[in-house]
Amino acid sequence: MDGPVRLGLLGAGRIGRTHARSIADTAGARLVAVVDPDEAAAASVVRMTGARAASAEEVFGDPAIEGVLIATPTDLHAHQIERAAGSGKAIFCEKPIDLDLSRAQRSVAAAVRCGVPLMVGFNRRFDPSFRRLRQEIEDGRIGDVELVQITSRDPAPPPRAYIQRSGGLFRDMMIHDFDMARFLVGEPIVEVSATGSALVDKAVAGAGDVDTAAVVLRSAGGRLCLISNSRRAAYGYDQRIEVHGSEGMVFAGNPAATTVTRADRSGFATDPLDPFFMDRYAHAYRQEVATFCAVVRGSDAAYPGGPDGLAALAMADAASESLATGRAVRVGQVS
Amino acid sequence: MDGPVRLGLLGAGRIGRTHARSIADTAGARLVAVVDPDEAAAASVVRMTGARAASAEEVFGDPAIEGVLIATPTDLHAHQIERAAGSGKAIFCEKPIDLDLSRAQRSVAAAVRCGVPLMVGFNRRFDPSFRRLRQEIEDGRIGDVELVQITSRDPAPPPRAYIQRSGGLFRDMMIHDFDMARFLVGEPIVEVSATGSALVDKAVAGAGDVDTAAVVLRSAGGRLCLISNSRRAAYGYDQRIEVHGSEGMVFAGNPAATTVTRADRSGFATDPLDPFFMDRYAHAYRQEVATFCAVVRGSDAAYPGGPDGLAALAMADAASESLATGRAVRVGQVS
Amino acid sequence: MDGPVRLGLLGAGRIGRTHARSIADTAGARLVAVVDPDEAAAASVVRMTGARAASAEEVFGDPAIEGVLIATPTDLHAHQIERAAGSGKAIFCEKPIDLDLSRAQRSVAAAVRCGVPLMVGFNRRFDPSFRRLRQEIEDGRIGDVELVQITSRDPAPPPRAYIQRSGGLFRDMMIHDFDMARFLVGEPIVEVSATGSALVDKAVAGAGDVDTAAVVLRSAGGRLCLISNSRRAAYGYDQRIEVHGSEGMVFAGNPAATTVTRADRSGFATDPLDPFFMDRYAHAYRQEVATFCAVVRGSDAAYPGGPDGLAALAMADAASESLATGRAVRVGQVS
Amino acid sequence: MDGPVRLGLLGAGRIGRTHARSIADTAGARLVAVVDPDEAAAASVVRMTGARAASAEEVFGDPAIEGVLIATPTDLHAHQIERAAGSGKAIFCEKPIDLDLSRAQRSVAAAVRCGVPLMVGFNRRFDPSFRRLRQEIEDGRIGDVELVQITSRDPAPPPRAYIQRSGGLFRDMMIHDFDMARFLVGEPIVEVSATGSALVDKAVAGAGDVDTAAVVLRSAGGRLCLISNSRRAAYGYDQRIEVHGSEGMVFAGNPAATTVTRADRSGFATDPLDPFFMDRYAHAYRQEVATFCAVVRGSDAAYPGGPDGLAALAMADAASESLATGRAVRVGQVS
């Protein structure tokens, strides 16, 4: 197909608007239509991009639209994947595909059946530092991977209402880390042991959830991955990964807004980390959309794809079960 | 005036194309016309921005063009400033204004006489880390400024032909550091002592120039600034500034492309610095153009302006004289 | 008592010689006698300190000796503690007290019964950076402790013969980290979940041991602590601790032998870490012995003491059981 | 000669006591006698080392004393060097040898004439990081040296009375940096350009001195060295050196007392630098005395020696003249 890649956007919330901006910044891409029941939200995307406001049905029915980005609430994802697949459109869907693994599996199967590519929004795979970690591993710079340590802390917990609908910390927050583990460990993850507490907000415990968690993953070949999560970090949005291997170690830390250090009577000081994940991953979000555009035109594979979304979900399920039972839990292999 | 700021660009070389891209990325700005005798260069800007290729005279004569960016070879700057001023257009001119201080002074005077704003391309003033240094000083975080240390090293020397036309290291390369010194010292610079050698390329000495230099500036109140320059750094483009005061110190280092560190038998390793100044200052270049757009519409002062360009040039002149005579040289106060 | 503190040393192996040197460096302390069946080992301590070579019975029977340091193989510790206690001598014993918890408990009880102080060789408690972590916590600088992360990697595994007698990674290596967790978490540890693999040397698996391990601890109030161990790190002896709390985070890294960084075409490089734990903790070892001297004279409490040794052993037992069963295991509370 | 190296110490002030302690810590060295008109000062060294209090004449006349360390006020150095040389003793003398270059030259000549080794107290040559810088250069890791940058800042100015007798900042403080420049530049320094101000204490200007200074050195082959000094740094004792060469750069920074970083709402923070030069260079001071012991017994060359002391003094003289005249000044070559 000639001309710019023509895209539709479902959902004009925070993440939807980010994708709209990325599309506007991508040479060779054009946002044709945006869908959101909140007219003001849709209008802001219209102003930013020149797209038209539309209904989901119009988007699915418009043969000129080649791909759709699904950035709606999670409970709409699976259905919209199936509708988009049925319309023959390439699909980008935010994580998680669905809170229920079997529902998610059915929607992924639909995309396969319809022969449309399905890409899942694990934006961290596009972060330059995390990609570099993987490159170093693939280049054999640290030998065989033996231990992975992932530390993720949000600056502050989301509203309680959000947490209640989120599917729990494992499906909402740690799912990114599960995907990073798969990205870096280099073998299937077969077992999950989870521990957690509600330390930031005791009310979270009432809802059966945790806000502070430690999970250990085990791969088929015995490689270990430790993940720790906290819903709160006074000093900003903290995301670090370290991979230890037989020949060495690679580490990716947090980027800083400036390179400035101040020294005075109290010592040396630098700024807190950026508190906002969209700034932290700004480059990754743009790269993700650029990749989707290539996927739409068939010049790139859908990566990360549906199976990646399902695998992370299966790990979240196993973590939830482990937390409840105090046992290491086998991860169901999904596809 | 309504609608986007309408701009003309003189010069479609490396830096001209960078400005064209910044204009394209700036909401509320539009590049209307681009001028370059090299048709291929002009055409690449046309493709990138939708501007029309034009002659300089057409740009000066087009009443719809509100401002011009001068990114031509240095020997054309002064004349073009005068022509643009005569046409009533706001002016952005790359540094240096001219290699000859009095010629530069006449062109700055023309802009003043015609009542048009003139902004000079000291892009480093827009670097977030260097701005932050100044902010810390203004906020009184380090007390009175006493010592400034500026280290600037290029990854590799430019072609000899470029060096021969460059006006020498002080006017071509260290002029940025002279401007940074003025930006941070907070007092007029009154004296310059310069030492230098041709260590990178002995041929440079034949042309009366140096490629490795150490300059000490002295302000009216006795504050000192040390600047060192080298035309070569094996590890990339290196730009650091440190300001020491009565109550503390602030330091700005080099940004890194990733946050990755690798550790192995040999020790800990991180990447070399970005070798290309346009990547290093990508953000600063965009901010510079955005500021010029505000200047064109009168919502921002022309900063840095003509007097800043002249002052840095006068410091370069003093450094050249100091290098030749082995004496500390008073800096002529210009305006 | 007047004059220098008079000490006897049981065991003149690597760690024994280190303690002998620390005693020699401590003003107000004197090593009177050293015991080792290996005459050459004993002789080297004699030369270094002027102590006399003696038998254990002579040491226990010499009323002039006020305190003994036990640095013999682990299987002798418990008996020697009891003999020293029976002789009324203050005791410093290397970790672990015994591989068998109940045997260790009996020896600790003997010291209590005899009214002699018993100090256990958890040298890391005397490391200036780890002490500082605890000080920051006690000063309330990071609010309530929520997550502790301890990373410990040896440069290379010990000989297989050593590993076979070691009681396993949890009792031999991670026991230091269990003690650090207790030192920093600020609450009793109640539950342990362990995962591990033999990745460095498959033969270790045959002996029922692991060389790569990930353990999660849970405190009475739900605080979490992640510990990871590896018997091998290409880049040296790596010991880091991070404590995350409600108001911030503190981190202690690895010291470096010099402050030198080199930058060249390949990037920036610093040295590997010191490969030898005795250099890493040289200051801590001296401080430990100085503290024991104060304990002997009654001017300082025996800290860390017998109960600390038992508690870490109980955690190692729980970790072993968790590794074998795949379940989170309650830690028996010992005293 | 057999047995421990027998030493006498002239001067039991701060630096004298440091050397006494180093001798006590050095296996194979013994302080036999200490000289100081202040009886309490001498007595403290007697207690620390078991040396006897004596007069200078007794030390020079005691044939059992093989070497003397001169740590008296500067105006006594030259005479005491000559007396010690006449007595055939190996000499260690604190810097500067004398404030007057020709007086210093006569005393160095006396040592040569008497055939006794003379070592000068440039302790920084024994700092592990600075030695490593030189090693990297000698190993060819950065190619040809082109630019050296030395930053030295004291935490706070000494008492005015001290400054008045000090010979000025160049002879008292920067003399260490002059020696470091010689240590690292690898060629004779031929020219000095100095700039300075009294910013910390205006009263210093009245005495013809400065407390903030910037000096540029030029070597025979055109290599440049920038030195900046300040008598005050709010954040502690700051000593950094950077050497830039044709193939790369090496840098030595400041050591830290702990490796602890704290992060909270305000950002990331580490401690100020150690404010006391004797802690900063504790290892170097010990190494210096150990080297002198080897020099006494003839197993090591007197390094740094008399000529090094004179060369640094000649550079200080040239810097003073440059400061007064505003001209680059040739450094007299001394020997």
Interface predicted TM-score (ipTM) of this complex, two decimals:
0.95
Cα torsion D96, D97, D100, D105 to 10°: value is -140
Residue D205 pLDDT exceeds 90: no
pTM: 0.95
Summarize the confidence of residues B259-263 as an average pLDDT.
97
Task: Give the whole-angstrom CA distance, residue C147 versus residue C168.
Answer: 26
Task: Give the whole-angstrom CA distance, residue B189 versus residue B194.
Answer: 14
The tokens describing C54, both together, are: 């003696």
Asked whether residue A101 is assigned to any structural domain, the reply reads yes
The answer on C72 and C145 residing in a single domain is no
Residue B335 pLDDT exceeds 70: no
Residue D139 pLDDT exceeds 70: yes
Count the neighbouring beta carbons within 10 Å of the beta carbon of residue A14.
10
Residue from the list B141, B260, B265 with its beta carbon closest to the beta carbon of A133: B260
- Which residues does D331 contact at the CB level (< 8 Å), separation at least 6? D188, D189, D190, D191, D192, D314, D315, D318
Q: Are B306 and B90 in contact (CB under 8 A)?
A: no
The residue whose two tokens read 């050195």 is: D217
Cβ pair A151:C149 closer than 8 A? yes
If you count them, how many residues does chain C have?
335
pLDDT, chain C, mean:
95
pLDDT one-digit tens code per residue, C285-324: 999 999 999 999 998 899 999 999 999 999 999 999 999 9
Summarize the confidence of residues C222-228 as an average pLDDT.
98
Asked whether residue B298 is assigned to any structural domain, the reply reads no
Q: CA of B323, closest CA in chain A: separation in Å?
A: 33
pLDDT one-digit tens code per residue, B26-80: 888 999 999 999 999 999 999 989 999 999 999 999 999 999 999 999 999 999 9
The tokens describing A251, both together, are: 């580490």
pLDDT one-digit tens code per residue, D37-55: 999 999 999 998 999 999 9
Cα torsion C104, C105, C107, C109 to 10°: value is 170
Cβ pair C268:B270 closer than 8 A? yes
**Higher-pLDDT residue of B335, C265:** C265
Which residues on C lie below 8 Å from B264 (Cβ)? 234-235, 272
The answer on D64 and D161 residing in a single domain is no
The answer on D276 and D148 residing in a single domain is yes
End-to-end CA separation in angstroms for chain C: 31
**Proportion of chain C above pLDDT 90, given as a percent:** 87
Asked whether residue B289 is assigned to any structural domain, the reply reads no
pLDDT one-digit tens code per residue, C124-156: 999 999 999 999 999 999 999 999 999 999 999
Cβ pair A234:C143 closer than 8 A? yes
Residue by residue, DSSP assigns A194-216 as: EEEE--S-THHHHTT--SEEEEE
Could you tell me whether strands D212-219 and D224-230 are parallel, antiparallel, or unpaired per DSSP bridges? antiparallel
H/E stretch holding A47 reads helix A39-49
Cβ pair C268:B265 closer than 8 A? no
Specify the amino acid at residue A112.
Answer: V
Nearest to B54 by CA among B66, B36, B38: B36
Which residues, numbered 120 to 179 in chain C, qualify as contacts with chain A under a Cβ-Cβ cut-off of 8 Å? 142-144, 146-147, 149, 151, 153
| Longest Cα separation, chain A | 67
Residue by residue, DSSP assigns D201-217 as: -THHHHTT--SEEEEEE
Q: B22 burial class (0-12, 13-18, 19+ CB within 10 angstroms)? A: buried
pLDDT band at A1 (very low <50, low <70, confident <90, very high): low
Domain-terminating residue out of D70, D95, D116: D116
pLDDT one-digit tens code per residue, D268-306: 999 999 877 778 898 999 999 999 999 999 988 999 999
Nearest to D174 by CA among D227, D222, D224, D133: D227
Q: Are D80 and D59 in contact (CB under 8 A)?
A: no
Q: CA of D197, closest CA in chain B: separation in Å?
A: 6
If you count them, how many residues does chain B have?
335
Return the pLDDT at A236. Answer: 95
Residue C1 pLDDT exceeds 70: no
pLDDT, chain D, mean:
95
- Which residues does B201 contact at the CB level (< 8 Å), separation at least 6? B157, B160, B211, B231
The answer on A132 and A241 residing in a single domain is yes
Asked whether residue C296 is assigned to any structural domain, the reply reads no
Asked whether residue D296 is assigned to any structural domain, the reply reads no
The answer on B233 and B143 residing in a single domain is yes
The residue whose two tokens read 């008073």 is: B330
Handedness of CA C133, C138, C143, C145 (dihedral sign): positive
CA atoms within 13 Å, Cβ hemisphere of C75: 4
Domain-terminating residue out of A88, A116, A144: A116
The answer on B172 and B253 residing in a single domain is yes
Count the neighbouring beta carbons within 10 Å of the beta carbon of residue B106.
15
The tokens describing C29, both together, are: 């302390």
Return the pLDDT at C2. Answer: 72
Asked whether residue D10 is assigned to any structural domain, the reply reads yes
Q: Touching check for D230 and chain B: CB below 8 Å?
A: yes
Q: Across the strands, what pairs with B213?
A: B196, B229
The residue whose two tokens read 């030492």 is: B195
DSSP tag of D89? -
pLDDT band at D27 (very low <50, low <70, confident <90, very high): confident
Q: Touching check for A270 and chain D: CB below 8 Å?
A: yes
Return the pLDDT at C279. Answer: 81
Could you tell me whether strands A145-153 and A238-245 are parallel, antiparallel, or unpaired per DSSP bridges? antiparallel
Which residues on D lie below 8 Å from C264 (Cβ)? 141-142, 247-249
Phi first, then psi: what are they for A119, rounded to 5°? -115, 140
Return the pLDDT at B207. Answer: 81
Q: Between A and D, how many residue pairs show a Cβ–Cβ distance under 8 A? A: 43
pLDDT one-digit tens code per residue, A29-88: 999 999 999 999 999 999 988 999 999 999 999 999 999 999 999 999 999 999 999 999
Task: Give the whole-angstrom CA distance, residue D282 versus residue C191.
Answer: 45
Q: Touching check for C231 and chain A: CB below 8 Å?
A: no
Cβ pair D268:A270 closer than 8 A? yes
Return the pLDDT at D271. Answer: 95
Cα torsion C168, C169, C174, C176 to 10°: value is 60
Asked whether residue D133 is assigned to any structural domain, the reply reads yes
The tokens describing D2, both together, are: 């057999």
pLDDT band at D31 (very low <50, low <70, confident <90, very high): very high
Return the pLDDT at D1. Answer: 61
Cβ pair D235:A267 closer than 8 A? yes
Summarize the confidence of residues C161-177 as an average pLDDT.
93
Task: Give the whole-angstrom CA distance, residue A85 versus residue A106.
Answer: 12
Specify the amino acid at residue A177.
Answer: D
| Longest Cα separation, chain D | 66
Structural domain total, chain A: 2
Domain-terminating residue out of B67, B90, B116: B116
The answer on B202 and B254 residing in a single domain is yes
For B159, the 3-state DSSP assignment is coil
pLDDT band at C243 (very low <50, low <70, confident <90, very high): very high
Summarize the confidence of residues B86-101 as an average pLDDT.
96
The answer on A253 and A183 residing in a single domain is yes
Residue D2 pLDDT exceeds 80: no
The CA-based angle D23-D28-D31, given to 5 degrees, is: 40
CA atoms within 13 Å, Cβ hemisphere of D175: 27
Domain that holds residue D166: 125-280+312-330
Specify the amino acid at residue B249.
Answer: M
Return the pLDDT at C335. Answer: 58
Q: Touching check for D184 and chain C: CB below 8 Å?
A: no
Residue D112 pLDDT exceeds 70: yes
For C147, the 3-state DSSP assignment is strand
Identify from B126, B259, B264, B283 which residue to disrupt to test chain A contact, counting A C-beta atoms within 10 A and taking the largest count: B259
Q: CA of D198, closest CA in chain C: separation in Å?
A: 31
Residue from the list B147, B247, B327 with its beta carbon closest to the beta carbon of D230: B147
The answer on A272 and A242 residing in a single domain is yes
Residue by residue, DSSP assigns B256-287 as: -S--EEEEETTEEEEPPPPS-HHHHTHHHHHH
Residue A201 pLDDT exceeds 90: yes
Count the neighbouring beta carbons within 10 Å of the beta carbon of residue B62.
17
The tokens describing A244, both together, are: 């230890």
Specify the amino acid at residue A183.
Answer: F
Conformational region of residue B179, where left means phi above 0, alpha means psi within -120 to 50, and beta covers everything else:
alpha
Task: Give the whole-angstrom CA distance, residue B193 versus residue C167.
Answer: 70
Handedness of CA D82, D87, D88, D89 (dihedral sign): negative
pLDDT one-digit tens code per residue, A25-37: 888 899 999 999 9
Return the pLDDT at C87. Answer: 97
Return the pLDDT at B267. Answer: 97
The tokens describing D69, both together, are: 């360390």
The tokens describing B159, both together, are: 């072609």
CA distances (Å), origin D228, targets A99, C261, D170, D198, D225? 62, 21, 11, 14, 10
Task: Give the whole-angstrom CA distance, residue D305 versus residue B97.
Answer: 53
Nearest CA in chain D to C262: D250
Q: CA of D244, closest CA in chain B: separation in Å?
A: 8
Q: CA of A327, closest CA in chain C: separation in Å?
A: 4
Nearest to D171 by CA among D323, D14, D9: D323
Q: CA of A247, closest CA in chain B: separation in Å?
A: 6
The answer on B194 and B140 residing in a single domain is yes
Nearest to C33 by CA among C296, C23, C25: C23
Cβ pair B246:D226 closer than 8 A? no
Conformational region of residue C226, where left means phi above 0, alpha means psi within -120 to 50, and beta covers everything else:
beta
CATH of the domain at B226: 3.30.360.10
H/E stretch holding A160 reads helix A160-165
Return the pLDDT at D335. Answer: 58
Which residues on B lie below 8 Å from D247 (Cβ)? 234
CATH of the domain at B49: 3.40.50.720
Return the pLDDT at C28. Answer: 86
Asked whether residue C303 is assigned to any structural domain, the reply reads no
Specify the amino acid at residue A242.
Answer: E
The answer on A170 and A316 residing in a single domain is yes
Q: B58 burial class (0-12, 13-18, 19+ CB within 10 angstroms)? A: middle
The answer on D132 and D48 residing in a single domain is no
- Which residues does A28 contact at the CB level (< 8 Å), separation at least 6? A4, A5, A293
DSSP tag of C200? S
